[in-house]
Amino acid sequence: MPGLISGGCKLNARVSCQLGTGGSGFIGSCYVLQARRQGVRVINLDKLTYAGNPANLATLNDDPDYIFVRGDIGNAELVAWLLKTFQPDAIVNFAAESHVDRSIVDPDAFVRTNVLGTATLLRVAAQWWRTLPAERASAFRFLHVSTDEVYGALRPGDPAFTEATPYSPNSPYSASKAASDHMARAFHETYALPVLLTNCSNNYWPRPFPEKLITLMICNALDGKPLPVYGKWANLRDWLHVEDH
């Protein structure tokens, strides 16, 4: 396992430590940077698929309390080793396939990562969590980062989504995230794992992958390319700055 790791390790000091998954991506990298500014040691487990960009975290290359591990959340052995070795106070799960168009072309990839990968991460986390002393187990949290797309679409004039809105996913992407949400909730109800869920709206700026809407529109406009707007041009989107998220 150590061969997968880059960055420093200071395991003898008991400081706040979090395991972040998908931390090299758009939203995950913002979390990692903010956590380090707050003095939290971060273990970043990222598979580095097309959307993962190590350059997002280049400013942390010499930071001994930022540890990068290239790997898959579906690798139970690796996740178990990381939990045992680094003893995090929290897991923050950003790892996901997250683009609607790609999910239409290859839905299986979204099921593998978003559903099966999340289920493996939850299972291994729950097994490890049960071995913790009572005080640490009580303070531990598993934060699962999801999307408001699990609730479906709003028509003009509809009230905003709330936590009580019924799930109604409309794409393989949102269906896979809905399934991962249900797995997270089930692990809380079945095993008492302290799980938190967030269902944020669309995030923007900085460091987005170029396929995301705002960046894609700007780049295409500058290059004189078509602006791909789908549906009947009547859809509304709510946008949240990634640092506010």
- List, by residue number, the catalytic residues: 148-149, 173
Sheet holding 5-7, edge to edge: 5-7, 66-70, 41-46, 17-21, 90-93, 141-147, 195-200
Per DSSP bridges, beta strands 202-204 and 90-93 are: unpaired
- Do 143 and 168 form a contact (C-beta atoms < 8 A)? no
The CA–CA distances, whole Å, from 103 to 90, 108, 174, 197 equal 29, 8, 9, 22
Residue 46: how many CB atoms within 10 A of its CB? 27
- Do 51 and 208 form a contact (C-beta atoms < 8 A)? no
What is the SS3 assignment for 242?
coil
- Do 61 and 74 form a contact (C-beta atoms < 8 A)? no
- Do 7 and 68 form a contact (C-beta atoms < 8 A)? yes
Residue 186: how many CB atoms within 10 A of its CB? 14
Instruction: Measure CA 118 to chain center.
Output: 10
